[in-house]
Every structure is written in structure tokens, then in C-alpha cells.
Amino acid sequence: ARIENGKIELNEKILDLQTQFNETVDMFQIDMDKKNITFNHSIDIIDNMVEADSLRTKQIVLNLIGNALKYTREGGTIWFEIKQKDPAVNGFANYEIRIKDTGIGMSEEFQKHLFDLFERENRSSVTGVQGTGLGLAITKRLVELMNGEVSCNSTLGKGTEFICSVRLKVANSDYVEEDNEDIDLSMLEGKKVLLVEDNDLNREIAKSILEDVGMQVEEATDGTIAVELLGSKKGNKYEKTEA
Ligand code: ATP
Ligand code: MG
């Protein structure tokens, strides 16, 4: 009801598709193993960072994989794929999410009502699978809220495939690339730098970036140590540059 009243707004932030993909795979792996289902997954994208609503994109994928898992018998196979269809143009790229299973499939007749509220195929209750028939109705509305489309191919007794196509804004990739091209980093080569950072991981990352451009890195884990190091060298050791 909240979607229909226009009360759900997308909260678009920078989203790391690869990370969300990995988290989703991890989340389902145990249940797939329990049902002895082979879970194949692949991600093939160029632009990983996009601007999208992470909660809603996750909800779409969870509904579809959740269904695949519910309506596939023991020993079946499920595929989960994310693919970028083409390189970004004007900051936008088309992505396709496919979720395919070798489950019970759906009749042609039922497929006409598939995305309606509270629709469930009779056989689902026969197989004893619980549900309210809301998952797909919500999924379709969320995909449409993102100006995307969702379609379904299904054959009774054979399996089902859902395909969601969404167009997403790529996060800043243009000027990240330009930045790298514009700055001449050769002036940093061989220079000494004092890196002050208390977080171990951040320090390690920063060190490796600085070393990549040829700098000699000394590390300080807090301000006191940094000041001591500066004092001991009378401030002469670390050179000032314009970069
Ligand atoms: P819930 O609201 O908990 O998601 P649900 O799974 O029954 O309940 P939907 O996700 O909307 O509801 O799915 C509607 C119906 O479509 C299901 O009851 C089932 O009959 C059919 N269906 C959906 N996905 C599949 C699938 N992968 N294979 C076979 N049937 C499916
Ligand atoms: Mg469902």
C-alpha cells in the first residue's frame, strides 16, 4: 500500500554492487546447501559503484532468490547473475539481474497474474510452501520505481527465470578517471612522506597507494608519535610538494 500511495521514496546513495552481490550469495549459501541445491552465481560488470537504493535493490533480489529457493526441490539448481549490458553512456549504465531455477515452474494461466497482489498458484499451497503472495507484487513495483522492468519465463515442471533490467547512475566514474589523468604524480617519486593514521587498515591502504607512486613512507599511528618524528628531524626530513 505504501508503494501504491507513492509513499516509498528511493534513498539513493553510493552502492558497491560487487559487495552487495557477495553478501547476498553468502546469505543464501547455507539454505542452498541444506536443500542440496547447486547455487551458481556470477557477476560481470564494468562499473561497480552506482547510485542506487541499497535496501530496495536488496529487497528485489532477496524476493526472487527466496522464491527460487522455495519453489525448487532438493537437488535442483539455481543461478544468480548480474551483468552490465553495455559501457556507461552519459553517466548511466544498464544492468540485468537474472535469477533462474530448475523448480516447479508455473502454468501459462498463472503467469498472467503473477505480479498481482496476493496471487499464489494453487500448487504452491499443495506443496506446503508458505507465503502471502506479496513478494512478487512488491518486487515488480520496486523495480518500476527504479524505472526498470521485470519479466518472467517459466515452464511448468521445468523451471523459472526472472529477469530484471534497471538503468543505474554510475557513481562519479568519469571524473575519477580524469583526476588520475590530469595530475602528474612523477613529482612525488623518491620523496619522503610521513603518514599519520591510527586505523591499521587505512594506514596499510594509504601506504600502498603512496608507495605505488614511488614515495618513501614512514608511519605514525597517532599525533604524538608524528610530532616526535617531525621534531627529531627538525622538520627537514619530510619535503613539501604541491601535489
Ligand atoms: P511471499 O509473499 O512470502 O513472497 P509467495 O512466495 O507465495 O509469498 P510471491 O513471491 O509473490 O509470493 O510469488 C507468487 C507465486 O508465484 C508463488 O506463490 C508461486 O506460486 C509462484 N512463484 C514465484 N516464484 C516462483 C518460482 N521461482 N518458481 C515457481 N513458482 C514461483
Ligand atoms: Mg515470495
pLDDT top residue among 101 and 185: 101
**Mean pLDDT value across residues 68-91:** 96
CA distance 181 to 209: 16
Contact of 125 with 110, CB cutoff 8 Å:
no
Q: Which residue has the cell 552465481?
A: 41
Q: For ligand 1, what atom is nearest to the CA of residue 133?
A: 12
**Mean pLDDT value across residues 156-167:** 97
1 burial via Cβ count (<10 Å: 0-12, 13-18, 19+): exposed
> Which amino acid is present at 158?
K
Q: What is the Å distance from ligand 1's center to 110 Cα?
A: 11
> Which amino acid is present at 27?
M
Q: Whose CA is nearest to atom 25 of ligand 1?
A: 67
Mutate to test the pocket of ligand 1, among 37, 60, 70 (most ligand atoms within 8 A of CB): 70
The pLDDT value given to residue 127: 65
- What does the mean pLDDT of the chain come to? 88
* Helix, strand, coil percent content, the chain, rounded in steps of 5: 40, 25, 35
* Whether the predicted pLDDT of 28 surpasses 70: yes
Least confident of 109-118, 141-150, 157-166, 201-210: 201-210
* Whether the predicted pLDDT of 116 surpasses 60: yes
In whole angstroms, how large is the CA radius of gyration of the chain? 25
68 in helix, strand or coil? helix
CA distance 102 to 71: 9
Least confident of 40-44, 131-135, 162-166: 131-135
> Which amino acid is present at 114?
L
Q: What is the Å distance from ligand 2's center to 101 Cα?
A: 14
Cell numbers found for residue 102: 530448475
Least confident of 52-61, 102-111, 120-129, 209-218: 120-129
